[in-house]
Amino acid sequence: MMMSLFLPLLLVSVLFMSSFSEVQGRKWKGEGTTQNLESIAIGRCYDYIRIVNPAVGEKNCSEIWEAFKSAFINKDPCSILPEDYELFINLSLHTIPANKSLFWENNQLLVNSFADRGRRYMSVGDTLFGFFGDFLNWCGQANSSGLDYESCPTTMECETNAVDSFWRMASITYAKHSSGEIHVLLNGSAVGGAYPQPSFFADYEIPNLQKDKISQIVIWVVDDIEGPDLDSCGIHSVKILETRLKTLGYNVTCIDNYKSVVFLLCLDYPDNSKCAVPSF
Amino acid sequence: MPFQQGSARTRQRTVLLVGIVLLLATLVLAVVLASLLTHGKHEDSPKMLKWKDRGTTKNLQEVILGRCYNYITERYPELGDKDCLKIWESLKDAFIYKNPCNITTEDYQPLMELASHPIPCNKSLFWSKTNDLVHRYTKSNQNFLTLEDTLLGYMADRISWCGDPSAPGINYESCPKRSECESNPSSVFWKMASKMFAEAACGVVQVMLNGSIEAGAFRSTSIFGSIEVFNLNPDKVSEVHIWVMHDIGGPQSESCSGHSIQRLKNILEERNFKIICEDNYRPVQLLQCVHNPDHTDCRLCTNSTAVP
């Protein structure tokens, strides 16, 4: 009977030890740095200046990569601040054409499609500095010049991590250099409101808009085709946003379910009644 | 400064003048030498053949490598075993130091083998004269894949390259147009990649054609009409769905009942494919309406409200 107890106990303790050592190996809870980050990032930089938007002129992509790395390499991955990316931003900054800025919350893929890689609108992901880091993950480690490919801190573990600080700096920069008629695409079906707080838009973009360069702010609140209509112009969080912007002195327009965007959403639901077009 | 005697002052002035003249002479010599050297450098590149189309994309290596890794990371992690460096090398070897009018399919064979990957059935989307629309569609709707959504096409899209027998072996100034020679690096590449893309298709395949152009929606001279149609495998492909799209508010030069579409249907029927043709396939038309939301053809049944 002792033997029959011994084996399961042994098995359990071996399993426990191996899972414990796995936890020991991973410092953080988030995914590690994207594989081949350097090649991807430098490739994207050249892709952008040669193909996507040659209007930005000549940029030194190796220098940009080095500046990017210097923001977080050889540092405690929980001690990275937006300002650490200042050199990176200075090297990769370019004009954002007037009337082309598109801010957003809770609809990244939709914005990607709608902006059409900068041809219709230029979202932050369509700028060189945003294009550089979009959908990628990265972090360094203290006392090492290497990237951590095993794990990186999540926002919950620490807010001042390499990726979050990057996007804060990118958002600040993007807002500062936006001009003319600017657009904000919000998700009317998002739980927590179309205009979430806290958020990049609320905390890093609105405060950095340059009032003297902006003629109008156009808000689009679009519901998911099969989603609930939780928020709309003039109510709840959108009303808070409209009030905030008007108080700051901006001309504000708000449109519910802007047709162009609805058509794009309809691609996946062509037979939904919201997508019915009599002439088709 | 102590006041100096007249003759000492003259001597000093002379020395100063001589010094300035020498400095100027050195500067002029340096400028002349520099211009001669750069002129000499420019003399080297004219040894390269001159063509009518744009030259090799600058930083080609970085762009190709980055796109290769990006594709695997973002779109198709199952391709993790692909060696992007090897893929780049095989692309380079296909054209570097070669006369860009003598490129063959053998040149690209290693690249094609390294970079090819299986395509899920029912997802292949061919196209002709609908470049912009078809790619906006596949970007917004992951149900279909064009050649440019496969690794090979993704790496090469909107990029140009060609070699030259003289150093450095890559011509960044110009590359041959198809009218100058057919066997140029770009044409051979796309023809070969298109053939392979067609061969890899299985199940139901789709093709998006332009019903608003005068020359006809289906042309035998297009890559679709001359290569892809003939390389679909009847043992793997069951059906061909044809979408004839008209520009919103544009001419309806042709539709499913048109002449060139009939020709296409004949070719396909002869090869035993089942055919379905649809004018203005709904989802794609919805995409066209994104750009023309106020056109009468795009009126939605439910109206949007503007809140001032």
Summarize pLDDT for A141-155 with one digit per residue, the tens. 999 999 999 999 999
- Interchain contact, B304 vs A116, CB within 8 Å: no
Write the ipTM: 0.89
CB A106 within 8 A of CB A120: no
Provide the CATH number for the domain around residue A169.
3.40.50.720
Nearest to B62 among A34, A46, A279 (CB): A46
Residue A188 located in a structural domain:
yes
Q: What is the CATH number of the domain that holds B207?
A: 3.40.50.720
Cβ-defined contact of A277 to B289 (cutoff 8 Å): yes
In a domain, A6, yes or no: no
Span B190-207, average pLDDT: 98
Nearest to B304 among A40, A41, A255 (CB): A255
Give which of A64, A260, A269 to mutate to test B binding, by max B Cβ within 10 Å. Answer: A260
Domain that holds residue B173: 53-298
Q: Which DSSP letter does residue B280 get?
A: S
The structural domain count of chain A equals 1
Instruction: Tell whether A275 lies on the interface with B, counting CB pairs under 8 A.
Output: yes
> Considering the domain boundaries, does residue B35 fall inside one?
no
| Residues B27-86: tens digit of each pLDDT | 888 777 777 666 555 544 558 999 999 999 999 999 999 999 999 998 888 888 899 999
B70–A259 C-beta distance less than 8 A: no
Q: Which amino acid is at B268?
A: L
Interchain proximity B66–A46, CB inside 8 Å: yes
Q: Which residue of A has its CA nearest to B85?
A: A39
Search chain A and give the residue with CA nearest B137: A267
Per residue in A192-205, pLDDT tens? 999 999 999 999 99
Phi, psi of A182 (to 5 degrees): -105, 150
pLDDT band at B308 (very low <50, low <70, confident <90, very high): very low
- Residue A175 lies in domain: 37-268
DSSP A75-137: S-TT---GGGGHHHHHHH--PPPTT-BEEEES-HHHHHHHHTTTTS-B-GGGSHHHHHHTT--
Indicate whether A30 belongs to any domain: no
Q: Work out the average pLDDT over A168-183.
A: 98
In the predicted model, what is the mean pLDDT of residues A215-242? 97
Does the residue B82 lie in any domain?
yes
Which residues does B124 contact at the CB level (< 8 Å), separation at least 6? Answer: B144, B145, B197, B198, B200, B201, B202, B205, B206
Number of domains in chain B: 1
Kindly indicate the confidence band of residue B251, based on its pLDDT and cuts at 50, 70 and 90: very high
Which chain A residues in 104-123 lie under 8 Å from chain B, judged by CB atoms? 112-114, 116
Please check whether residue A211 touches B, CB under 8 A.
no
The verdict on residue A209 lying in a domain is yes
Residue B80 lies inside a defined structural domain of this protein: yes
Is pLDDT above 60 for A33?
A: yes
